[in-house]
């Protein structure tokens, strides 16, 4: 029989990857893990491809048990990770023996945690991705009692005497705050807001409970469009900061439709999108203006940190003879 991960407490968990790229021209949202950085690092810590399927856990507690020895990594928002009641660190690989129970509880500051398993998970795919799509009715939303197929077992790894952690891989861990700062660049319609455009950077905005993977609704001092005339529907990027005629901002995330008709004041940067994926309803955030050059530099620095981690993992796994999946 194939080895599995049995879910005991699913909460709000789904099987995700980095998204369905190259399909926007056909009207399909990209979707995928909302905190792309944490998802990438979780997979890298397990020796997987960055875009391999993993579990995204949102807000609520989660627990599961593997039917074989596995190596896992848990990243994302601060939480309590235990294996059969013994605490383990996030952002490092953790060896789990068959029959032991992995519990992730007390998610705080942020809202999403990522659980990757060496070898990844067997899950249905659509257009090259397992990312759920609510419009198409596709996706693997986990429920209590579900069994998720495992691709690769891993012999147990343990310090024979001191029970010390095996790894010190120095993963690039982002900071988590009660108030968030989201980097944005100028949107195509900034000039249509005149002097009111600066309101975006002067005061905090509060995240509405109506926010989801499609987008966030933000209450606060909303800039006002001073230009006249209608805005035609057109393609909009992930991260577009839209200003409808009302008292809220809309920030489109990875589940957004590919077209919209509201003016776009700003666009969240690639690194800012991962931060945005951790913001809880009720929390406050501020926008920070960045030039295109600054945004690209920050993205390259984050990618360099992940690539450096990948090299360290390759070295350590080779020394410990951990079977890295092809």
Return the pLDDT at 247: 86
- What are 115's two structure tokens? 């659980």
| pLDDT given at position 162 | 44
Q: Please compute, for residue 234, the number of CA atoms within 13 A of its CA located in the half-sphere on the CB side.
A: 11
Q: Which residue has the higher pLDDT, 177 or 86?
A: 86
**6-43 exposure pattern, b = at least 16 Cβ within 10 A, e = fewer:** bbebbbebbbbbbbbeebbeeebbbbbbbbbbbbbbbb
d(CA 34, CA 65): 25
More confident call, 230 vs 93: 93
* pLDDT over 60 (residue 163): no
| Beta carbons of 161 and 202 less than 8 angstroms apart | no
Closest CA to 317 of 166, 120, 153: 166
Beta bridge pairs of residue 141:
14
Q: Is pLDDT at 80 greater than 80 in this prediction? A: yes
Asked whether the predicted pLDDT for residue 276 surpasses 70, the reply is yes
Among the ranges given (20-34, 126-140, 147-161), the one the predictor scored with the smallest mean pLDDT: 147-161
- pLDDT over 70 (residue 14): yes
Q: Which residue has the higher pLDDT, 173 or 23?
A: 173
pTM of the prediction?
A: 0.94
- DSSP class of residue 318 equals H
Do the beta carbons of residue 104 and residue 130 sit within 8 Å?
Answer: no
Predicted local confidence at residue 159, as pLDDT = 56
pLDDT digits (tens, 9 = 90+) for 279-323: 999 999 999 999 999 999 999 999 999 999 999 999 988 888 887
Which residue has better confidence, 136 or 115? 115
Burial 207-231 (b: 16+ CB within 10 A, else e): beeebebbbbbbebebbebeeeeeb
Strand, coil or helix: 189: coil
- Tens of pLDDT, residue by residue over 191-207, are 999 999 999 999 999 99
CA pair distance 127, 117, nearest whole angstrom? 23
Q: What is the mean pLDDT of the segment spanning 24-34?
A: 85
Average pLDDT, the chain: 91
Rounded to whole angstroms, the Cα distance separating 151 from 51 reads: 15
Residue range 168-174: mean pLDDT, rounded = 90
Q: What is the pLDDT of residue 197?
A: 93
- The answer for 321, left when phi > 0, alpha when psi is -120 to 50, beta otherwise, is left
- Rounded to the nearest 5 percent, the helix, strand and coil shares of the chain are 20, 30, 50
80-83 β-sheet, strand order: 86-88, 80-83, 102-105, 62-66, 4-9, 147-150, 121-122
């Amino acid at each position: 029989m194939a080895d599995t991960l049995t879910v005991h407490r699913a909460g709000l968990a789904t099987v995700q990857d980095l998204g369905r790229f190259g399909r926007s021209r056909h009207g399909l949202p990209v979707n995928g893990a909302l905190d792309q950085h944490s998802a990438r690092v979780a997979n890298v810590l397990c020796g997987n491809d960055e875009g391999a399927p993993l579990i995204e856990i949102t807000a609520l507690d989660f627990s599961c048990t593997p039917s074989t020895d596995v190596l896992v990594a848990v990243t994302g928002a601060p939480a309590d990770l235990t294996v059969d009641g013994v605490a383990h660190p996030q952002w490092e690989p953790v060896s789990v023996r068959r029959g032991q129970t992995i519990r992730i509880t007390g998610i705080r500051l942020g809202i999403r945690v990522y659980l990757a398993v060496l070898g990844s998970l067997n899950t249905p795919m659509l257009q090259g991705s397992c990312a759920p799509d609510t419009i198409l009715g596709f996706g693997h939303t986990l429920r209590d009692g579900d069994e998720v197929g495992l691709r690769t077992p891993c012999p147990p790894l343990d310090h024979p005497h001191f029970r010390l952690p095996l790894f010190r891989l120095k993963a690039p861990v982002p900071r988590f705050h009660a108030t968030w700062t989201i980097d944005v660049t100028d949107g195509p319609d900034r000039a249509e807001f005149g002097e009111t455009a600066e309101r975006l950077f002067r005061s905090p905005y509060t995240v509405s409970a109506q926010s989801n993977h499609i987008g966030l609704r933000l209450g606060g001092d909303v800039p006002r469009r001073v230009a006249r005339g209608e805005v035609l529907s057109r393609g909009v990027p992930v991260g577009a900061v839209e200003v409808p005629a009302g008292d809220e901002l809309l920030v489109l995330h990875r589940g957004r439709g590919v077209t919209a008709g509201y003016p776009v004041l700003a666009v969240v940067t690639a690194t800012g999108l991962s931060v945005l994926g951790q913001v809880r309803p009720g929390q406050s955030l501020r926008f920070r203006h960045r030039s295109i050059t600054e945004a690209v530099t920050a993205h390259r620095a984050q990618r360099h940190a992940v690539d450096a981690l990948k090299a360290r993992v390759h070295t350590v796994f080779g020394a410990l003879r951990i079977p890295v999946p092809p």
